[in-house]
Structure 1
């Protein structure tokens, strides 16, 4: 996931309900799919953040010394400014980038 090219809104946005539930024709199913995708995005971002912070980690045995690592602070600030996972998931959903299928439908 390329986080620099994401154009999802940073703040709360009102969406047209008909556009949100158009692919499934059921608003609850659409919201369920979007929430599952938001959880996936959140775990991807968290994993990526932890990996980047580990690169700059300094380990010491002394609890009295606290080091400010400027690289870690910059990485953290970048991730704090990103759109929230639910905003990313809704954007992907409305753009038709989320694959979904109904497992209850009979397959011939």
Structure 2
């Protein structure tokens, strides 16, 4: 998770136009490159979501009264911090373009199993 916090300071959180040829060059196949970026973005998203829920649980107030809603400033500040972070897709694309991630291919033995 330290990598995501590091990117928070270094990476522009807004989406920028990217050259499809640049993305394609790293694997030789645009769709394979996009698949790798997508898988990594999903991993980052799961990690960030888990961390966010863990932090929000620390400040949660468990109340049985459904009619009263309490505003918790700590939870709001934590949520704002995570909203300002770069999106997982932006992080994954940056990692891919800077060759910080890799993907191993499973070699198919030629048999089809269904």
Moved more, 8-17 or 46-55: 8-17
**Aligned pairs, number:** 106
Q: 1:11 to 1:33 in 2, by over 3 A?
A: same
What residue number does 1:46 align with? 49
Within a 5 Å distance, the mapping from 1:62-73 to structure 2 comes to 62-73=65-76
Q: CA offsets, 1:47-89, max 9 Å, x none?
A: 0000000000000111122111100000000000111110010
Normalised TM-score (structure 2): 0.85
The equivalent position to 1:17 in structure 2, one of 20, 23, 29, is 20
1:91 and 2:94 aligned: yes
The equivalent position to 1:60 in structure 2, one of 60, 63, 67, is 63
Q: 1:82 to 1:13 in 2, by over 3 A?
A: same
Gaps of 5+ in 2: 110-114
Find the aligned partners of 1:102 and 1:93 in 2 and give their Cα distance: 16
Shift of 1:105: 7.2
Q: Give the 4+ runs in structure 1 shifted more than 2 A.
A: 16-19, 101-106
